[in-house]
Structure 1
Amino acid sequence: MRSSKRRRNALELHFTTLGPLKAWRAGRELRINRAQDRAVLAVLLAQAGRPVPVGEIIDGVWGEEGDEAPDRAGALPGNVYRLRSALDAGGPSILRHEAKGYRLDADPAGIDRTAFLTALADAATARRNWQPERARTLLSDALDLWTGRALDDVPGPFAAHERRLLAARRDEARRSRLELDLELRADTWTPAPARTPVRPVLRPFQLPPDLGDFTGRGEELAAVAETLTAPDRTGPPLVTVTGPRGAGKSAFAVHAAHLAGAAYPDGQLYADLHGRDAPTVPAVLAAFVRALGVEERAVPPDPADRRTLYHRLLADRRVLVVLDGAATADRAGPLLPVAPGCAALVTADGPGPLPLGAPGERVACHAVSLGRMTPGEAQALLGRVLGTDRLAREPTAARTLAAVCDHLPGPLRAAADRLVRRPAWPVAALVPRTGGPGGT
């Protein structure tokens, strides 16, 4: 109970150090009149929440003066007493003796020095992740915290050191913001119709929903899982899935990607490359880097630059990339990750593996060729979609329907979906109309 009260008391306080050192409670300034008391407070604020040894406080306030200040150790308790009286105002003490030193339990969010340095670190991260607008906003907010010279009215060697350090970081922030101003105004970036809102680095999850009634392909799935989750690898695993139209390549790839999701905690990227209206490689690269957290106007217009940025963003991440319907190697190649922590799963129509690189170029490569389902798997799929009771009433018609669909999961699922939408129809009613509904 006492610690929770102390915490609430700390949250009510606010300290400004990027200018004259002041303490505030609920908008009211607390009077700390003595310069040495403010010097002690400055040392404690820089390490808020941690015990500061007595010797470190003395050196920061009075310096290493030896015999010139024989009473400084005796003076410190008086400084602490006055600070405690000013800060606590009758409430639970946030300044206490601990481990041969003193500890100030002040909330870091209520100290402008801490907020300033945290914003600079966040801005640097945003720049590394190609988020210039977020970085500029963070830098502007950090610079707005300043009201004058840091610790302007505080004596002692620690305050002098802090003034130099914080002034250097302030100059650094100003230079970075100027660089971002020039970068955001440059004609090389795609203009944004409106200001992109501030957002954190993203963990994309673009996979389509998994099929709850996915059936069969057990051996193939096991081989893919072994390839995608192999721990001893030096390059990104690559899986290619080929087969005729209707063989269920898309459903297989999505199902396998969902199963392997835990091995790729930084997300999954997905692109549908089927048909003439499919997005171009540069468009997919732009979509991928946006999904990874890059702001719209920071997406490079040049395709080569987009690809470089894409690989840079994946360098320290574990992301699974699924390319569904890559008709040629040219369509898939530029989108494949090169970071060893990532992996790719590519589907394409055709009888054999899609050539995506020279032999030995990738450490773990596995080719899957999907064909017809076995009659038993075809019946199991129909049963999962239609229900076993409905299937049991017309076993012969169900077997005929599977044969007409050439035991391919795409046409089978399309036919079963039609029957689901028409519960009054018998299975036999669809058999003469089925010519192998399409699907991949």
Structure 2
Amino acid sequence: MEFGILGPLLVRDSGGDRPVAAAKQRALLAALLVRRGQVVPADVLADTVWDGRPPRTAATTLRNYVMRLRKALGEAGPRLATEAGGYLLAVAVEEFDADRFTRLRDLGHDRLRTGDAERAATHYEAALALWRGPALVDIPSEALRRAEAGRLAEARLDVLEGRTEAALALGRHAELLGELRMLTVAHPERERLWAQLMTALYRSGRQSEALAVYGEVRRVLADELGVDPGSELRAVHGGILRADPALAAPARQAVRTRAVLVTPFQLPPGLTDFTGRSEQSADLAGLLAAESRRAPLIAVVSGQPGAGKSALVQHAAHAARGAHPDGTLYADLRGSCPRSAAPHAVLGSFLTALGVPAAAVPPDTDSRTALFRSLLAGRRMLVVLDDARDSAHIRPLMPAGPGNSALVTARTRLPDLGGSHALPLGPLPADEARQFLTRLLGPARAAAEPRALTQLAAACGGLPLALRICGARLAARPSWTVRHLVERLADEGRALDELCLGSLDVRAAFEAGCEGLDPVTARAFHLLALAPTDTVGLSTAARLLGAPPAHAERVLERLTDAGLLTAREPGRYRYEPLLRTYARERARHRTTAPTVPAQRTPLRSALAG
């Protein structure tokens, strides 16, 4: 879980970003975050939410806001607890960007005091990278911003000064001049920044400019604050005048760009109950173990939402550690989420994991890619990229050396990713689905209802996510029989409601899978599911959509590429069972929603007739 106030309000869980759209709820969440782990009195929250002017109904309205906020927080909702007289939000230090910033700042200060300028610079850079804009920028509470935003901005300036001090100690004075000139204009009251600018100019052989800066800051301080320069500025000025050797530039330290001590292993823990996919697992094992290659291995595992792509790839990656002794890098690219991970940021994290100090990470994406590939050259490393949006999303992250491998999961097969091996995943075969359920329930319980177990596997359509949810629900309810759950799933109107357990949610997975569809394609996916069978021919689709066959085919192919339909023969497109249930549910919602225009679409007319 991740929470952030260093910029626009951020809430992110395993499913991606969770926007808090309502302004009052953003103010409420921000007020709880800045006092995380503490009971915040209701009247304090009311003053914050209504900016010092709470209405008479504030207590009741606040309770409603808390209830809505719990829903908006998704899997973190239960962390928002009602306590006597107030509310408490439980957030760990590592989950909150302001806490991580403070920890990195303190680490940087400690390293700088002990003379380890390179480590200090690394910590400072990591702290500054957490900022996405001004703190609390989208929080509509002047009282909260007045209390917290100024303090956080001051802390950020403190880190900027510390990073500059570390860079000066490392002999990087010439690189600092442009930034220091901008900082002194933006913050003329910060004498330390002026002293650092004078030092950087002097060490760059520009003594007269450094002295001119002293005259400038003396005038600024006198005109705006009515004071003379402080001791630090006077000391630097005096050192320049007498050419003090203590002010001279240190020998520039070489920057490490290669990991020498750490072999990264970033994979999430493997699933102890991973079951099935024997054919695909064997294919991946053979590809990953191959030694005589002239190019890196790139394997793309694709399939519908909930097909178990990530589980298979992580299982294969854990098994392939021996073939990749130089380490494994992992990134969740969140390609199915509205805000996917940027290759630029992923490359930065990879380079840091490989031992590159933050100060040495190149500023542009192309240079980061070049350095990343240089570091992997001659090594045997595995790169796992989970949930790619498309080929362009992952091209900068591809290794180039023949000893390297890349495992990618995506909704589509990424056919334009040259040189890749495609491993499409369909539903689990019936025997593997039953085996998976048996492993989740235990052999005794599974053996007691063999027929119902088969029916449950069929009701789940062999979808691993649905099977896992059913197994977990039955394991949590020993009094339920397998048949009881089968009967609950038999009602199409409630089937998707049954397939939800905590953060595991089939409907949510399907919604994420449809997120990137254009309106025409989304409408076709929903409405064609109302046809009498789960398979739709091209001519039928064209008639029902009221479109030429060529247009209908393009739409159906886009749905196939998105993993939402399967095409087992040309011109015939099939819905998997649960995807059809979801699409029919959405189609009925569209049909009955009051905002839908009253005219009859060709599909509605055909079905009505």
Q: TM-score, normalised by structure 1?
A: 0.53
Counterpart mapping for 1:221-370 below 5 A:
221-274=281-334, 275-350=337-412, 353-358=413-418, 362=419, 365-370=420-425
- Partners in 1 of 2:456 and 2:178 — Cα distance? 60
Counterparts in 2 of 1:213 and 1:136: CA distance versus 1, 3 Å: closer
Pick the aligned partner of 2:275 from 206, 215, 232.
215
Question: Is 2:118 the partner of 1:133?
Answer: yes
Q: What is the letter of the counterpart of residue 483 of structure 2? A: A
- Partners in 2 of 1:285 and 1:356 — Cα distance? 22
- Partners in 1 of 2:388 and 2:179 — Cα distance? 30
Q: CA deviation at 1:206?
A: 1.0
Q: CA deviation at 1:387?
A: 0.5
Q: Secondary structure at the match of 2:388?
A: coil
Q: CA deviation at 1:201?
A: 3.8
Q: CA deviation at 1:433?
A: 3.7
Q: Secondary structure at the match of 1:401?
A: helix
Mind listing any 5+ residue stretches in structure 2 that lack a counterpart? 1-115, 123-167, 184-255, 490-494, 500-505, 511-609
The question of whether the paired residues in 1 share the 8 Å contact of 2:275 and 2:432 is answered with yes
Percent of residue pairs identical: 45
The question of whether the paired residues in 2 share the 8 Å contact of 1:201 and 1:292 is answered with no
The question of whether the paired residues in 2 share the 8 Å contact of 1:327 and 1:348 is answered with yes
Higher helix proportion, which one?
2
Superimposed CA distance per residue, residues 100-137 of structure 1 (whole angstroms, 9 cap, x where no aligned partner) = xxxxxxxxxxxxxxxxxxxxxxxxxxxxxxx9926999
Counterparts in 2 of 1:187 and 1:207: CA distance versus 1, 3 Å: farther
State how many pairs are aligned: 257
Alignment RMSD, CA only?
A: 3.1
Question: Is 2:476 the partner of 1:414?
Answer: no
Counterparts in 2 of 1:271 and 1:242: CA distance versus 1, 3 Å: same
- Partners in 1 of 2:294 and 2:174 — Cα distance? 36
The question of whether the paired residues in 2 share the 8 Å contact of 1:374 and 1:407 is answered with yes
Counterparts in 2 of 1:314 and 1:406: CA distance versus 1, 3 Å: same
Q: Secondary structure at the match of 1:430?
A: helix
- Partners in 2 of 1:288 and 1:424 — Cα distance? 48
Q: CA deviation at 1:355?
A: 2.5
Q: What is the letter of the counterpart of residue 217 of structure 1? A: R
Counterparts in 2 of 1:384 and 1:269: CA distance versus 1, 3 Å: same
The question of whether the paired residues in 2 share the 8 Å contact of 1:136 and 1:180 is answered with no
Pick the aligned partner of 2:457 from 399, 402, 411.
402
Name 2:262's counterpart in structure 1. 202
The question of whether the paired residues in 2 share the 8 Å contact of 1:321 and 1:344 is answered with yes
Counterparts in 2 of 1:272 and 1:432: CA distance versus 1, 3 Å: farther
- Partners in 2 of 1:267 and 1:132 — Cα distance? 28
Counterparts in 2 of 1:417 and 1:184: CA distance versus 1, 3 Å: farther
The structure showing larger relative contact order (alpha-carbon pairs under 8 Å, at least 6 residues apart) is 1
The question of whether the paired residues in 1 share the 8 Å contact of 2:121 and 2:358 is answered with no
- Partners in 1 of 2:333 and 2:488 — Cα distance? 30
Superimposed CA distance per residue, residues 368-409 of structure 1 (whole angstroms, 9 cap, x where no aligned partner) = 111121211111000111101111122222212111110121
- Partners in 2 of 1:187 and 1:217 — Cα distance? 56
Counterparts in 2 of 1:178 and 1:216: CA distance versus 1, 3 Å: same
Q: Secondary structure at the match of 1:219?
A: helix
- Partners in 1 of 2:179 and 2:316 — Cα distance? 40
- Partners in 2 of 1:186 and 1:402 — Cα distance? 66
Q: TM-score, normalised by structure 2?
A: 0.39
Q: Secondary structure at the match of 2:305?
A: coil
Pick the aligned partner of 1:425 from 480, 487, 504.
480
